[in-house]
Amino acid sequence: MNLVVCIKQVPDTETQIKVGADGKSINMDDIKWVMNPYDEFGVEEALRIKADKGGDVIVVGAGPKRVTEALRTALAMGADKAILIEDEGLYGADPIFVGKLLAKAIEPLNPDIVFFGQRAVDDDCGLASSSVAEALGMPQLAVIVKQELDGDTIKVQRPVEGQTNVLSTKLPVCLTAQKGLNEPRYASLPGIMKAKKKPLEVKTLADLGVERDDKIEIAAINPPPERAPGKVIQGETPEELAVNLAKALREEAKVI
C-alpha cells in the first residue's frame, strides 16, 4: 500500500496570535510551530494501516524550511519518507493552489490513500484536500472517525448532526481525519533518533513545474474584538439583586 499523508505546519494552539504590521498576515516572531493536530490523526491511521496491511507511509508538506520539523515529527512517529515542497512565501497561500501543488508531488507516488487532517487549525479552510482529490481524480471522504479496508474497498464513518453516515468507495481515495479516528502516538525518543537517518526529499515549485496561481488573497486579518468586562449586580437583599438584574438584562443587555 502506498499511504501518503499531507501535513501542514501551524502555530501551536497555545500560541498567542498577533496580527502582523501589514494587517494581512500574522506576526511570525516567537511562534512555536507544530504539526496540525488533525494531521496527526492522519499519520497515526496511515501507520496503523501499514502495520496491518504493509506498505510505505510517505509524508508531504509544503512551506518554508521550518516545515522540516513537522515532517521529522511524522518520521519519528514511524513514517518512512518525507517530501518537502520548499517555498518561503507559501504560508497563507490560496489553499486550492496549495492542493494543486501537493497533487504534483503526490501523483508520482501512485498513492492508494491520501490522508489529510479535516482542516488546519490556523486558517480553518479545509480546502487543500478537496483540491488534491480533484486534481488526482479521486473520491474524497471527508471528516471521518473510522475506516475499514477490505481489499480495494474502503468503508468509512462520518458523524453528521447526531447520526453517522457510512460511506464506501474504491481505492485510491482521499480521506480527511477528524478527532476520534484514533489516539496519535508520541514521537518516541528512539523514533526521533531514527528519523534523522530517514530520507527527506526537498523540491521547489520549479522542480514540480508549477507557478504561483492563487485565485484569492488575504485582504485583512482582524483580531477578535476585546471582551467587555463583566458587571457585578449590586444589591443588599435577594429581592433587590433580582430587580437590578432584571433591569440590567432589559435596559442594558436588551435581552428581555
Partner 1 sequence: MDYTIPENLALMVETIRRFVKKDLDPISQQVEKDDRIPDGIVEAMRELGLFGLSIPEEFGGLGLGALGECLVYEELSKTNACFRTRVATNNGIGSQGIVLDGTPEQKERYLPRLASGEWTACFALTEPEAGSDAANIQTTAELVEGRWLLNGRKHFITNGSESHVATVFALTDKSKRAKGGITAFIVEKTYPGFSVGTIESKMGMRGSHTCELIFDNCEVPAENVIGGQAKVGQGFKTAMKTLDKGRLTMAASALGAAQRLLELSVDYAKQRVQFGRPIAEFQAVQFMLADMASQIYAARQMLYHAAWLRDKRGSAVIKEASMVKLFCTEMAGRVADMAVQVHGGMGYMKDYPVERFYRDLRLTRIYEGTSEIQRLVIAREMLKA
Using the minimum distance from each CB to partner 1, give the nearer residue, 37 or 55.
37
Short-list 111, 114, 100, CA closest to 175? 114
Q: How far is the CB of 74 from partner 1 (least distance, A)?
A: 11
Judged by beta carbon, residue 36 or residue 129, the one nearer partner 1 is: 36
Count of H-run helices and E-run strands, the chain = 6, 12
Residues 129-188 that bind partner 1 (CB under 8 A): 186-188
Please list, in sequence order, all residues whose beta carbon lies within 8 angstroms of the beta carbon of residue 51, skipping any fewer than 6 positions away: none
In angstroms, give the least distance from the CB of 250 to partner 1: 28
**Of 62, 67, 72, 131, which one interacts with partner 1 (CB under 8 A)?**
72
Q: Which residue has the cell 430587580?
A: 243
SS3 186: coil
Name the residue nearer to partner 1 (CB basis): 138 or 187. Answer: 187
Please identify, using beta-carbon distances, which residue of 188 and 204 lies nearer to partner 1: 188
Choose, by CB under 8 A, the member of 54, 151, 162, 190 that binds partner 1: 190
In the structure grid, which three cell numbers stand for residue 240, read together? 433587590
Q: Which is nearer to partner 1, 69 or 148 (CB)?
A: 69
Question: Strands of 163-170's sheet, edge to edge?
Answer: 146-150, 153-160, 163-170
The b-or-e profile of 141-168 (16+ CB within 10 A means b, else e) is bbbbbbbebeeeebebbbeeeeeeeeee
User: In the window 74-103, what residues touch partner 1 (CB under 8 A)?
Assistant: 76
CB of 256 to partner 1, least distance (A): 30
Q: Find the part of the chain contacting partner 1 (CB under 8 A) among 55-63, 65-73, 79-87, 123-131.
A: 65-73
Q: Read out DSSP for 232-247? A: PPP-SSHHHHHHHHHH
Residues found near partner 1 in the complex (CB under 8 A): 34, 68-69, 72-73, 76, 186-193, 195-196
